[in-house]
Amino acid sequence: MTTQTVLAAAGGVSGGEEVTFYILAPLALIGAIGMVAARNAVHSALWLVLTMLCLGVFYVLQAGPFIGMVQIIVYTGAIMMLFLFVLMLVGRDASDSLIETLRGQRVAAVLLGLGFAGLVGGGLYRALHGVQAVGLDQANAEGNVQGIARLLFTKYVFAFELTSALLITAAVGAMVLAHVERRKEDKMDQVATMKARFAPGNYPGPKPGPGVFATSSSVATPARLPDGRLTERGISPILPVRELTDEDTLLKGTDK
């Protein structure tokens, strides 16, 4: 397939392309909104992955297989996964502080972002409006992918390798910063663990399972002791305590 044929095909819109666009365009928009609205950094990155995958499909539909595969394989498959790996390694969770240190900074950020986007869009429109592309036939004489590869690994090979080294350095730096070396006195051996377990005031026996002696088997339901009192020992500290109804508070056999 020649370059002229590819460029001519890129100018038309087929029925399959329309259907694909109508399906993936809302998903790309939802992913972009979810990336901005998500409170968890990992969830925000996953929403961005969805948008990048949709963009990759759009590039392929517009007769740009190389940039489409780069969008999916490099940006989504490598950089975003590396970003997620670093986030999980550093340990970002849902308890990140959402309190504004400066009042009104979110509104100011939104306004400045919209203004910057309008400024960049207006500049690109004025710079590219009415400009005809020159030299595409010569650059794509052997094929678009071959032409990009020739420039990437000859003229721009130093920038390419420098970018690779930068990404590797960033990943190693994140691992070094996230690594916390415990002090020797903080490390507990089996003897120290046993002494701490049987120290005065501790409960050395096994903890009752959630829902024991209760009318519910939920893992968030406090267990009951033989005397009828509730105990929080059977609930994991990361689980919210389940609100008990009147039926749950009754002892078994007394609700009839």
0.75 exceeded by pTM: no
> 223 has which bridge partners?
231
pLDDT at 99: 62
Interval 127-148: pLDDT, tens: 888 777 777 777 777 777 788 8
pLDDT at 115: 93
> How many CB atoms are located within 10 Å of the residue 31 CB?
20
Q: Which of 108, 184, 137 is nearest to 6 (CA)?
A: 137
- Res. 217 pLDDT band, cuts 50 70 90: low
- Res. 254 pLDDT band, cuts 50 70 90: very low
- pLDDT above 70 for 253: no
Mean pLDDT of 224-248: 63
pLDDT at 106: 80
3-state secondary structure of 224: strand
Mean pLDDT of 203-227: 62
pLDDT at 8: 47
Q: Determine the Cα–Cα distance for residues 38 and 156; give it in Å rounded to an integer.
A: 37
- Res. 179 pLDDT band, cuts 50 70 90: confident
Side chain identity at 176, as an amino acid letter? V
Radius of gyration of the chain (CA): 29
Which phi and psi angles does 255 have, rounded to 5°? -90, 5
pLDDT at 256: 47
pLDDT at 26: 92
CB 68 within 8 A of CB 56: yes
- Res. 94 pLDDT band, cuts 50 70 90: very low
pLDDT at 220: 63
By percentage, how much of the chain surpasses pLDDT 90?
A: 11
